[in-house]
Amino acid sequence: MVRTGRRSAGSRLAAIAAALTCVVGLATTGCTGDSDGFRPGAADAGDPYVPGRGNGGYDVSHYDLDVRYDPSTDRLTGRAVITATATQDLSRFNLDLAGLTVSAVTVADARADHRRGDGELVVTPRAGLPRGRQFTVAVDYAGVPTAVDDGSLGSGGFLHTADGAVALGQPDSAATWFPVNDHPSDKASYDLAVTVPDGLAALSNGVPGPKNSADGWTTWHWSERAPMASYLSTLVIGDYRVVTGTHAGRPMVTAVAASLPATGGAARSLARTGAIVDFLASRFGPYPFDSYGGIVVADDRIGYALETQSRPVYGPAFFTDDRPNPSVVAHELAHQWFGDSVSLTRWSDIWLNEGFASYAEWLWEEHDGGRTAQRNFELQYAATDWSQPSVEPGRESMFGTAVYKRGALAVHALRRTVGDDTFFRILRTWTSERAAGNATTSDLVALAERVAGRQLRPLFDAWLVGGSAPTLP
Average the pLDDT over 50-56 and give the result: 95
Residue 39 has pLDDT above 70, yes or no: yes
Mean pLDDT of the chain: 92
Residue 7 has pLDDT above 70, yes or no: no
Q: Where are the domains of the chain?
A: 37-233, 239-341, 347-465
Confidence at residue 154, expressed as pLDDT on a 0 to 100 scale:
65
Residue 172 has pLDDT above 90, yes or no: no
Segment among 143-157, 255-269, 402-416 with least mean pLDDT: 143-157
The Cα 139–Cα 95 span in angstroms is 10
CATH 1.10.390.10 fits 239-341, yes or no: yes
Confidence at residue 149, expressed as pLDDT on a 0 to 100 scale:
77
Confidence at residue 151, expressed as pLDDT on a 0 to 100 scale:
63
Confidence at residue 381, expressed as pLDDT on a 0 to 100 scale:
98
Confidence at residue 136, expressed as pLDDT on a 0 to 100 scale:
98
Residue 49 has pLDDT above 60, yes or no: yes
Confidence at residue 13, expressed as pLDDT on a 0 to 100 scale:
38
Residue 45 has pLDDT above 50, yes or no: yes
pLDDT band at 175 (very low <50, low <70, confident <90, very high): very high
Residue scoring higher pLDDT (35 or 169):
169
Average the pLDDT over 370-390 and give the result: 98
Average the pLDDT over 156-175 and give the result: 94
pLDDT above 90 covers what percent of the chain? Answer: 88
Residue 8 has pLDDT above 80, yes or no: no
HSE of 415, CA atoms in CB hemisphere, 13 A: 17
Residue 267 has pLDDT above 70, yes or no: yes
Same fold flag, 37-233 and 239-341 = no
pLDDT band at 153 (very low <50, low <70, confident <90, very high): low
Confidence at residue 156, expressed as pLDDT on a 0 to 100 scale:
83
DSSP bridge pairs for 292 = 252
Query: What are the pLDDT digits (tens) for 180-213?
Result: 999 999 999 999 999 999 999 999 999 999 999 9
pTM (two decimals): 0.92
Confidence at residue 31, expressed as pLDDT on a 0 to 100 scale:
45
In whole angstroms, how far apart are CA 147 and each of 65, 77, 184, 227?
Answer: 19, 16, 19, 25
Confidence at residue 11, expressed as pLDDT on a 0 to 100 scale:
38
Helix (H) or strand (E) holding 336: none
Query: What are the pLDDT digits (tens) for 280-322?
Result: 999 999 999 999 999 999 999 999 999 999 999 999 999 998 9
DSSP-assigned letters across all residues of 256-324: EETTS-TTSHHHHHHTTHHHHHHHHHHHH-S--SS-EEEEE---TT--SEE--TTS-EE-GGGGGGG--
HSE of 17, CA atoms in CB hemisphere, 13 A: 6
Residue 412 CB contacts under 8 Å (≥ 6 apart), including other chains: 359, 362, 373, 374, 377
- Homologous superfamily (CATH) of 347-465 is Neutral Protease Domain 2 (1.10.390.10)
Q: Do 136 and 39 contact (CB within 8 A), yes or no?
A: no
DSSP-assigned letters across all residues of 11-46: HHHHHHHHHHHHHTT--SSS-SSSGGG-BPPPSS--
| CATH fold label, 37-233 | Immunoglobulin-like (2.60.40)
Confidence at residue 36, expressed as pLDDT on a 0 to 100 scale:
74
Residue scoring higher pLDDT (153 or 237):
237
The Cα 341–Cα 187 span in angstroms is 10
In whole angstroms, how far apart are CA 411 and each of 1, 276, 446, 463?
Answer: 48, 20, 15, 9
